[in-house]
Amino acid sequence: MLIGGTALLLGGGGLAAYATTALAGNNTPDTMSGHQQHTASAITISCPDVGERLRTVPRSAQLSVSKGLSSLDKQVHDAYHKMMGGSGADVLNPLKAQRQKTIKMMVSAIAKNTKRPSYLLKMSGCTTKPVDEGAGAGGGDSTKSVQDGWYQGQNQTQGADQNQDQNQQDQNQQDQNQQDQQGQDQQGQQGGQQGQAGGPSPDDFVDINNVQPNADAPPFAAPQGGNASTGTFTTECGRNEDGHFNSDNVIVTPGVSNGAHHTHDYVGNKATDAFANDNKLAASDTTCDNGDQSTHYWPVLRKLDGNAEQKPGAAQDANVGTTLTPATVTLTFRGSQVGQVEAMPRFMKIITGDAKAFTNGTKNANASWSCTGFEDRQLKDKYPLCPEGSQVVRTFAFQNCWNGQDIDSGNHRDHVTFSDQNGACPQGFKAIPQLVQRITYDVPQGQSFAVDSFPEQLHKPVTDHGDFINVMPDQLMSKAVDCINGGRNCT
pLDDT in tens, 364-381: 999 999 999 999 999 999
pLDDT of residue 319: 93
**pLDDT recorded at residue 134:** 73
Helix (H) or strand (E) holding 24, with range, is none
**Interval 315-373: pLDDT, tens:** 999 899 999 999 999 999 999 999 999 999 999 999 999 999 999 999 999 999 999 99
**Whole-model pTM?**
0.82
- pLDDT (tens digit per residue) in 301-319: 999 999 999 999 999 998 9
- 205 within 8 A of 382, measured Cβ to Cβ: yes
As a whole number, mean pLDDT of residues 94-115 equals 96
Report whether pLDDT(418) > 70: yes
**pLDDT the model gives residue 384:** 98
CA 228/CA 219 separation, integer angstroms: 14
Closest to 139 measured CA to CA, from 297, 314, 364, 456:
364
Spatial contact of 236 and 208, defined as CB atoms under 8 Å apart: no
* pLDDT at residue 88 in the model: 64
What angle do helix axes 160-188 and 92-111 make, rounded to 10 degrees? 160
Torsions phi, psi of 403, nearest 5?
A: -75, 0
Ranges assigned E (strand) in 121-221: 127-130, 194-195, 205-207
8 A C-beta contact, residue 142 and residue 92: no
Q: Give the tens place of pLDDT for each residue, 166-213.
A: 444 444 444 444 334 333 333 333 222 222 346 798 999 999 999 999
Q: List helix spans (H) across 112-207.
A: 160-188
pLDDT, residue 309, reads 93
pLDDT at 219: 56
354 forms beta bridges with: 8
**What percent of the chain lies above the pLDDT cut of 70?**
77
The Cα–Cα gap between 328 and 438 comes to: 8
Residue 427 backbone zone (phi > 0: left; psi -120 to 50: alpha; other: beta): beta
Helix ranges restricted to H, 259-383: 278-282, 357-360
